[in-house]
């Protein structure tokens, strides 16, 4: 790919052709406020916050403007600030801003923008319409859609179409009435939604949020326990409990994307039904036992049977869910005990 050089705020920047001005400057640490642009998605040009001035051409939205050799770009001028402020105020005015109760608090893009541009409460008050109270869609078991916090950036619409490929969501109605909606404006669980949550993780505000979300205190990168795709996941841990899963953006397979099982199917880890002690069956019922007792019993029984019927009396079924190292040890154990009767259910 060809390299392009252009100037932004007096700084020379080299970037790939076909990049946009917005993404090139963000990559070089120059912040331009923006809301509807997302690195995974095609540029949309909806929020108009990313306006910049190109010498000789005037104002333009930088998320849609491709870089060109020798362009001279300004991101901060009185005109830009004025335009930007209007754009921001229009976005914020209809937003139900109860930031402290919002799970997106401190991770909200709208807050970033308000902080950067500096919104005047007075002015906002004058603008404020009686923001309509839209019903909240609670129908999906894993996430909530709150249209009252929606800024119509369309990121969820593009995500569903470009990432997952389902097309559940779209813009509906016109003008002031515009909102994001499912087909026929039905609750999302009656749509073709696959509950992948991709739209939720990309939503810049609190309009799409995970139910019962708990913020983790650390993350651990590992692999999804479900299917053979082997997506990279990051387990969010709080204390000794897994409280969230997000896709690992550095993983070459899923590039941060996940399906419903990978993202939301982690509750088995901490489920009360988990086995926590060895069990030995006595008269048809299980009783708790120590590791010592249980393992001793197993070893004795293996030996008894093998002494009596030969080593082939023992067979083992291994698991497609344990690690390579564990599978290796499992077959090593059985073969060392003299039997090659080892299989797993993967044939099925």
Partner 1 sequence: MVGLATVLGSGAMTNTIAEITGADVIFVTGSNTTENHPIIGYRIREAVRKGAKLIVADPRVIPLAKIATLHLQFKPGTDVALFNGLVHVIIKEGLEDKDYVKKRTQGFEYLSSMVEKYTPEYVALITGVSAEDIVRAARLFAVGKSGSIIYCMGVTQHTCGTENVVALTNLSLLTGNLGIPHAGMNPLRGQNNVQGACDMGCLPNVFPGYQPVYGDRDTGTYWRRLKLEKDKSLQPAEEVDPSKLITDSIEFERPVYKGMSVSDEIRAKFSKAWKVELSDLPGRTIAEMFHHNPSRRNRVMYIVGENPVLSNPDTDHVRRCLEEMDFVVVQDIFLTETAQLADVVLPAASFAEKDGTFTNTERRVQRVRQAIKPKGESKADWEIIQELARRCGLDWHYSSPQEIWDEIRILTPHYFLGMSYERLETGGLQWPCPAVEHPGTAILHKDKFARGIGQFSTVEYRRLAADVVDKEYPFILTTGRKLYQYHTRTMTAKTDGLNRLLEEELMAINPQDAERLGLNAHDIAKITSRRGSIVSKIEITDQVLPGVVCMSFHFAETAVNVLSDPAVCNMSVVSGLKVAAVRIEKACEVQK
Restricted to residues 272-291, the positions that interact with ligand SF4 (CB under 6 A) are none
Quick note: the x/- pattern for ligand SF4 over 217-236, rule CB under 6 A, is -------x-xx-xxx-----
Does residue number 106 form part of the binding site for partner 1 (CB under 8 A)? Answer: no
Nearer to ligand SF4, 33 or 232 (CB): 232
Does residue number 344 form part of the binding site for partner 1 (CB under 8 A)? Answer: yes
Residues 246 and 234: beta-carbon distance below 8 Å: yes
Which of 33, 197, 204, 216 is in the footprint of ligand SF4 by CB under 6 A?
197
d(CA 165, CA 170): 13
Partner that binds at residue 280, options partner 1, ligand SF4, none, CB closer than 5 to 8 Å by kind: partner 1
Nearer to partner 1, 83 or 342 (CB): 342
Nearer to partner 1, 31 or 328 (CB): 328
Q: 11 - beta bridge partners?
A: 8
Please, what is the end-to-end C-alpha distance for the chain in angstroms?
A: 46
The encoded tokens of residue 165 equal 């490929």
- Within 149-168, the residues that bind ligand SF4 by CB under 6 A are 159-160, 164, 166, 168
d(CA 186, CA 165): 19
Partner that binds at residue 136, options ligand SF4, partner 1, none, CB closer than 5 to 8 Å by kind: none
Residue 297 C-beta: closest distance to ligand SF4, Å? 36
R_g of the chain, CA atoms, integer Å: 28
d(CA 193, CA 215): 25
16: left (phi over 0), alpha (psi -120 to 50) or beta: beta
Nearer to partner 1, 136 or 287 (CB): 287
Does residue number 221 form part of the binding site for partner 1 (CB under 8 A)? Answer: yes
Residue 222 C-beta: closest distance to ligand SF4, Å? 11
Nearer to ligand SF4, 38 or 84 (CB): 38
- Within 179-218, the residues that bind partner 1 by CB under 8 A are 189, 194-196
Residue 198 C-beta: closest distance to ligand SF4, Å? 4
Which of 126, 183, 286, 307 is in the footprint of partner 1 by CB under 8 A?
286
The encoded tokens of residue 219 equal 């993350």
Q: 218 - beta bridge partners?
A: 237
Nearer to ligand SF4, 115 or 322 (CB): 322
3-state secondary structure of 200: helix
d(CA 8, CA 346): 57
Which of 7, 170, 194, 313 is in the footprint of ligand SF4 by CB under 6 A?
194
Q: Give the residue from 108, 89, 112, 88 showing the smallest Cα distance to 98.
A: 108
How would you label 17-29 residue by residue, b for 16+ Cβ within 10 Å and e otherwise?
eebbbbbbbbeee
Angle at 251 between CA 211 and CA 13, to 5 degrees: 100
Does residue number 173 form part of the binding site for partner 1 (CB under 8 A)? Answer: no
Local structure of residue 147 (DSSP, 8 states): G
Does residue number 320 form part of the binding site for ligand SF4 (CB under 6 A)? Answer: no
- Interface contacts to ligand SF4, rule CB under 6 A: 159-160, 164, 166, 168-169, 193-199, 224, 226-227, 229-231, 254, 258-259, 261-262
């Amino acid at each position: 790919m060809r390299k392009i050089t252009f100037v932004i705020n007096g700084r020379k920047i080299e970037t790939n052709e076909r990049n946009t001005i917005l993404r090139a400057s963000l990559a070089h640490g120059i912040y331009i406020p923006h809301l509807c642009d997302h690195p995974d998605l095609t540029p949309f040009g909806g929020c108009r916050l990313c306006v910049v001035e190109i010498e000789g051409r005037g104002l333009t939205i930088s998320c849609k403007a491709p870089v060109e050799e020798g362009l001279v770009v300004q991101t901060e001028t009185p005109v830009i600030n004025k335009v930007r402020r209007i754009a921001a105020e229009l976005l914020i005015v209809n937003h139900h801003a109860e930031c402290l109760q919002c799970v997106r608090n401190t991770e909200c893009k709208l807050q970033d923008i308000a902080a950067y541009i500096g919104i005047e409460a007075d002015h906002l008050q004058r603008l404020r319409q009686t923001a309509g109270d839209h019903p909240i869609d609670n129908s999906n078991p894993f996430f909530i859609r709150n249209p009252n916090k929606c800024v119509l950036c369309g990121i969820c619409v593009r995500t569903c179409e470009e990432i997952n490929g389902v097309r559940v969501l779209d813009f509906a109605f016109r003008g002031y009435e515009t909102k994001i909606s499912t087909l026929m404006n039905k609750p999302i669980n009656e749509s073709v939604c696959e509950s992948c949550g991709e739209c939720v993780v990309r939503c810049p505000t609190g309009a799409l949020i995970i139910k019962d979300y708990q913020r983790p205190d650390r993350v651990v990168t590992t692999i999804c326990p479900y299917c053979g795709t082997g997506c990279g996941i990051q387990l969010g841990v709080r204390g000794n409990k897994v409280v969230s899963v997000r896709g690992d953006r550095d993983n070459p397979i899923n590039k941060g994307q996940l399906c419903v099982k990978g993202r939301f199917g982690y509750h088995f880890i901490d489920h009360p039904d988990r086995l926590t002690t060895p069990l030995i069956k006595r008269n048809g019922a299980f009783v708790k036992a120590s590791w010592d007792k249980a393992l001793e019993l197993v070893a004795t029984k293996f030996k008894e049977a093998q002494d009596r019927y030969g080593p082939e009396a023992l067979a083992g079924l291994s698991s497609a869910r344990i690690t390579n190292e564990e599978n290796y040890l499992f077959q090593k154990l059985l073969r060392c005990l003299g039997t090659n009767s080892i299989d797993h259910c993967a044939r099925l």
